[in-house]
Structure 1
Amino acid sequence: MVWSILMNLSSMMFLCLFSLICLLGFLLMISLNFSYYIEWEIVTLSSGSLEMTLIFDWMSLLFLSFVSFISAMVMFYSGGYMAGDMNMDRFMYLVLGFVCSMVFLIVSPNLISILLGWDGLGLVSYVLVIYYQNEKSAGAGMLTALSNRVGDVAILISIAMMFDLGGWGFIFYNESGFTEGIEGLIFLIIVAGITKSAQIPFSAWLPAAMAAPTPVSALVHSSTLVTAGVYLLIRFSPALVGWGQSVLFILAGLTMFMAGLGANFETDLKKIIALSTLSQLGVMMFILSMGYYKLAFFHLLTHALFKALLFMCAGSVIHSVGGTQDIRVMGGLIYSMPLSITMMNLANLALCGTPFLAGFYSKDLILEVAFSSLLNEICFWLLVLATGLTVCYTFRLIYFTVSGDYNLAGLSCLSDEDEIMTWPMIGLGVGAVIGGASLSWLIFPWPYMICLPWKLKLLALLVSLIGGFIGYILNMMVENYKLNCFSNYNVVNFAGSMWFMPFLSTFGASNLILKISQYYHQSGENGWLEFYGAQGVSGSFEVYSGFLQLAQDNSVKIYMVMYVLWLILVIMFLL
């Protein structure tokens, strides 16, 4: 136990120091407007060479600072959440390996070196998802691993295609503006990005990954695994032109709408927060597909702060109520856990885009830029509805956890006495309050000048107010009255199951292949091959051996028949 606490403290102090160094490096890089690009050649193979490259610019250093700070808070938080676990040391080493893989991915502008961090994230995430050894965790881990393997294959094929393009790094394509002949490469990079960031049709693994311990969820959904795909596409953004932007635009719009709709029907606390992550990833991809990569990166950083805080608060609640994750059995927690619930509401309000919190500065700016762009009507209303649904499920979560009656068992021990879990939440809470304003001043030295009609200017605020009202009042009515609109099982099942995405990603994707293989197995291996192969040969030998046994039988009938046959053969030969 003492060793685990010392390991938590030492890991937190090291990561905080590393975060501070990266932050100072970011300030130096952005003030002097330059970056370091380190490259060395490892091996040369005839006409090609294998190179190791690292890039240290303002974007990579700022992202490293955020990843290190959030990882430090998660490591310290894990000391209280995982206290008493038999495999605490293994858990800590896995989390550190996870962070190292993400750091390696951030500073790599080369697809070969990116693949090392990319595969490291996939491997360690699988081990962390199956940390609790049960059937549910095993299934979720397999779904997570196989879904992410699609992106790994896309990266490998991209590396193979780069043999003909003269360089392994994305910087050459971004700076030269060369886009002719790399459509296939851009398609593969988009596939890799949407698999890692769980966009449609690869969205099923994200809620399934909630089988991992809650500190892992706080790290995965804030600044590491799911943001790796967005970060990769941000780096490749100058090359994403033409049809690539259109495909990403449509998938992102559908994803954020689907996730917002599904979260309003979900009752699992961690899955609601996971679907909110999926919705915000859709927002990042949406604005990235329009060419505003800085806005996508800005929202990625602000989202990391309040989403890590939200998962930590959820973990504190789950830890106190004995492992229960159903929000319907919660209620009135503000009286028993005032600090945790206050921090949770702070993160929820930041998620909604409440003015002057972290989410407001990035999300409101994204909405204004999108409203001022040339959007078609369908995509415009998808964005508006997704914004309203975000506020709706957030206030639904607030209603079921904060207000209402106390629905837990009478002997439940609810408190905020665990300081090891409390201090990281306070640190991230401060970031959720001041992080948005600070980042907006640092990343955008000149503010965006957006001219909108007052109707569009107030549209985001109006949609948020309507969404919050519906989310709170409608769930109050559902709890007290039976509403016919929620009694239709087919509608609720479709909306609450992510449009059957988990089914389509597993059985739906493999059903056709399994049926084809079953047909060829029955007609081939168990059919013609058996008839003309092993069973056919053995049957022929049985017939021939039976005839020989019959011919060797000491019977007068056999002798007479053989005598007549031989006599006929001799006569035919003589004639």
Structure 2
Amino acid sequence: MNHNSLCFVSFFFLFFFMLINFFMMMYFIMNNLIIFLEWEIISLNSMNIVFSILLDWMSLLFMMFVSLISSSVIYYSKSYMSSELNLNRFIFLVLLFVFSMILLIISPNMISIFLGWDGLGLVSYCLILYYQNMKSYNAGMLTALSNRIGDVMILMLISWMVNYGSWNFIFYMDFMKNDYSMKIIGMLVILAAMTKSAQIPFSSWLPAAMSAPTPVSSLVHSSTLVTAGVYLLIRFNSLLIDMYMMKFLLLMSGLTMFMSGICANYEFDLKKIIAFSTLSQLGLMMSILSMGYSDLAFFHLLTHAMFKALLFMCAGMIIHMMNNNQDIRLMGGISFYIPLTSLCMNISNLALCGIPFLAGFYSKDMILELFSMSNLNLMIFYLYYFSTGLTVYYSMRLMMYLMINDYNLLSIYSLYDEDYIMLKSMFLLLFMSLISGSFLSWLIFSYPYMIYLPFNMKMMVIYLTLLGVIFGFLVSNMNINSINKFKKTYNLSLFLSLMWFLPNLSTYMLSYSMLIFGQNLLKNVDMGWGEIYKSYGIFNIIKYYSVIFYIYQMNNFKVYLFSFILWIMIIIFMTLL
């Protein structure tokens, strides 16, 4: 099958699957249905191997969003990856990735969840390595090994679930809530979700995973890999709601939001800025989950998926036109030359900021207002609101660098806005970024949230948005390099831009110590004692024996006579015994 036909077939299949999911989901919500299917694969004596599927409004709605975004991404790849020789391989990898995510979504069983979970990890490794260079190898290995921690947690969780006689966790999660084994299972679920959704201290793999092709980044950061941890916590939410570990998760996710917001303001790589914004939104989802609002976390997960996929697609198109350059300092004034791409970029950016009546507004505004009503301490309150301000800050800074500042690359004639294949897939997501917030808020919440706040608390979000806009405008017009000449400021900016030295602590520290340990082993064991006693020692012994045999083989009558007498003496001695 040639490239174009495979792209078209994949797009058509996923789009058709999305429509089926949409109609089924509407039917399930209206009739309040949940369908639990079991397919018995093997039945041998008393042992059954059963594959279970859980279809409710949540799994159908999430599948609808995943298949919509992945169909847009595959259609977008038809043009974006058109110069690629192995495009078929790329499309199959993306389809395998989407299939792993769908398996994870519809599974009420820990074994099939693990299959989907591990499938995501393995296929993401293949996709990050797609452009084969040293940076990609390092990033792929870091991603795979970080996700492996989560896989180990899930394996331990599966082994703890043997106590209950079934891996279908939805059957006994509610009434076994206070059981000791269930508390351990809850802790393992939280740790697994933290690795997959890149919360501190496992954050360093997410910006590194930007080595993948941009369509893959668009898929990974919106609805598949990083949202798997959030989705798992939503499914386990009734078990986790009163656990002490959730307070720890609230702190870690709040710090993740704060850290990624600051890092995005110090970053000049276009894709990494968007990756940090994903990290910030994941922190927001995790923190609202740890307070017990699982439906709200799910709502934000879906609205965020739309504009984040669009943001990455626009970034990919801009990078393409900029001769594969990702530095935002070299871009500028692109709104004059590529107005349609700039339109998509700006709307997705504004949706990320939570500008009223775009997709992000409905979820972020409700999250912040419910958070303001919650009985939480001042530190978490500051982390939340400061991180929200930082989101607007880096979005404004990005918009200034791309749209308003001067163009600094070689030639403006590389800019063109007529790749209609990319634009069609982007406009599909643009439409969803505009309407999905209101559409989902009517769909998911059958009751209106009653939010009662003082005037200034109610207006806090608007105050922060305005502050973020002002700071973003000022900083993008300042010459950062002149400020960094002062040593203290430079050290501080280094600390902030390097994710609070998280890669050094969680990645390099471990790998360097292991590499040095391996080097010492090689030097002292393989090249030292091992050399003397193993290879060199064996060589000496063989050499010594070969000299003896050589003497025997010389036609020397004295040696033959001596050996004959020796053998006679040994035989006599043995017979006397």
TM-score calculated relative to the size of structure 2: 0.89
Which residue number corresponds to residue 188 of structure 1? 188
Deviation, 1:276, is 0.4
Question: Between the two proteins, what is the percent identity of the paired residues?
Answer: 52
Q: After superposition, where does 1:23-62 map in structure 2 within 5 Å? A: 23-43=22-42, 50-62=49-61
Is the 1:321–1:412 contact (alpha carbons within 8 Å) kept by the matching residues of 2? no
What is the identity, as a one-letter code, of the residue corresponding to 2:219? Answer: L
Deviation string 1:75-122 (CA, Å, 9 cap, x unpaired) is: 111111111211111111111111111111110111101111111111
Which residue number corresponds to residue 115 of structure 1? 114
Deviation, 1:4, is 1.8
Is the 2:130–2:212 contact (alpha carbons within 8 Å) kept by the matching residues of 1? yes
Q: 1:99 to 1:481 in 2, by over 3 A?
A: same
Q: 1:487 to 1:430 in 2, by over 3 A?
A: farther
Q: After superposition, where does 1:143-542 map in structure 2 within 5 Å? A: 143-181=142-180, 182-240=182-240, 241-410=242-411, 412-478=413-479, 482=483, 488-514=489-515
Counterpart CA distance in 2 for 1:302 and 1:173 is 31
Counterpart CA distance in 2 for 1:297 and 1:485 is 45
Deviation, 1:10, is 1.9
Stretch moving more, 285-294 or 449-458:
449-458
Structure 1: any 5+ residue segments left out of the alignment? 544-575
Structure 2: any 5+ residue segments left out of the alignment? 545-577
Q: 1:123 to 1:537 in 2, by over 3 A?
A: closer
Stretch moving more, 244-253 or 255-264:
244-253
How many equivalent residue pairs? 545
Q: 1:538 to 1:50 in 2, by over 3 A?
A: same
Deviation string 1:395-448 (CA, Å, 9 cap, x unpaired) is: 010000000112121264111100000011111111111110000000001111
Stretch moving more, 119-128 or 260-269:
119-128
Q: 1:451 to 1:124 in 2, by over 3 A?
A: same
Which residue number corresponds to residue 73 of structure 1? 72
Deviation, 1:174, is 3.2
Q: 1:386 to 1:168 in 2, by over 3 A?
A: same
Deviation, 1:516, is 5.5
Is the 2:196–2:226 contact (alpha carbons within 8 Å) kept by the matching residues of 1? yes
1:86 equivalent in alignment to 2:77 = no
What is the identity, as a one-letter code, of the residue corresponding to 1:123? Answer: L
Stretch moving more, 308-317 or 155-164:
155-164
Stretch moving more, 506-515 or 216-225:
506-515
Counterpart CA distance in 2 for 1:157 and 1:327 is 44
What is the identity, as a one-letter code, of the residue corresponding to 2:8? Answer: L
Deviation, 1:512, is 4.2
Counterpart CA distance in 2 for 1:35 and 1:541 is 75
Which residue number corresponds to residue 555 of structure 2? none
Q: 1:23 to 1:540 in 2, by over 3 A?
A: closer
Deviation, 1:41, is 4.0
Counterpart CA distance in 1 for 2:511 and 2:136 is 21
Deviation, 1:48, is 6.8
Stretch moving more, 95-104 or 279-288:
95-104
Deviation, 1:505, is 2.5
Counterpart CA distance in 1 for 2:111 and 2:139 is 28
Counterpart CA distance in 1 for 2:53 and 2:542 is 70
Is the 1:48–1:163 contact (alpha carbons within 8 Å) kept by the matching residues of 2? no
3-state SS of paired residue (2:414): coil
Counterpart CA distance in 2 for 1:541 and 1:425 is 73
3-state SS of paired residue (1:133): coil
Is the 1:486–1:492 contact (alpha carbons within 8 Å) kept by the matching residues of 2? no
Deviation string 1:368-401 (CA, Å, 9 cap, x unpaired) is: 1111101111111111111111111000100000
Which residue number corresponds to residue 559 of structure 2? none
Q: 1:199 to 1:30 in 2, by over 3 A?
A: same
Deviation, 1:144, is 1.0
3-state SS of paired residue (2:448): coil
3-state SS of paired residue (1:175): coil
Deviation string 1:267-310 (CA, Å, 9 cap, x unpaired) is: 00001001100100000000000000000000000000000000
3-state SS of paired residue (2:268): coil
3-state SS of paired residue (2:54): strand
Counterpart CA distance in 1 for 2:204 and 2:481 is 32
Which residue number corresponds to residue 133 of structure 1? 132
Is the 1:74–1:215 contact (alpha carbons within 8 Å) kept by the matching residues of 2? yes
Stretch moving more, 532-541 or 396-405:
532-541
Stretch moving more, 529-538 or 425-434:
529-538
Counterpart CA distance in 2 for 1:261 and 1:292 is 26
Counterpart CA distance in 1 for 2:482 and 2:519 is 50
Counterpart CA distance in 1 for 2:402 and 2:196 is 31
Counterpart CA distance in 2 for 1:518 and 1:199 is 32
Q: 1:518 to 1:127 in 2, by over 3 A?
A: closer
Q: 1:418 to 1:47 in 2, by over 3 A?
A: same
Is the 1:173–1:179 contact (alpha carbons within 8 Å) kept by the matching residues of 2? no
TM-score calculated relative to the size of structure 1: 0.89
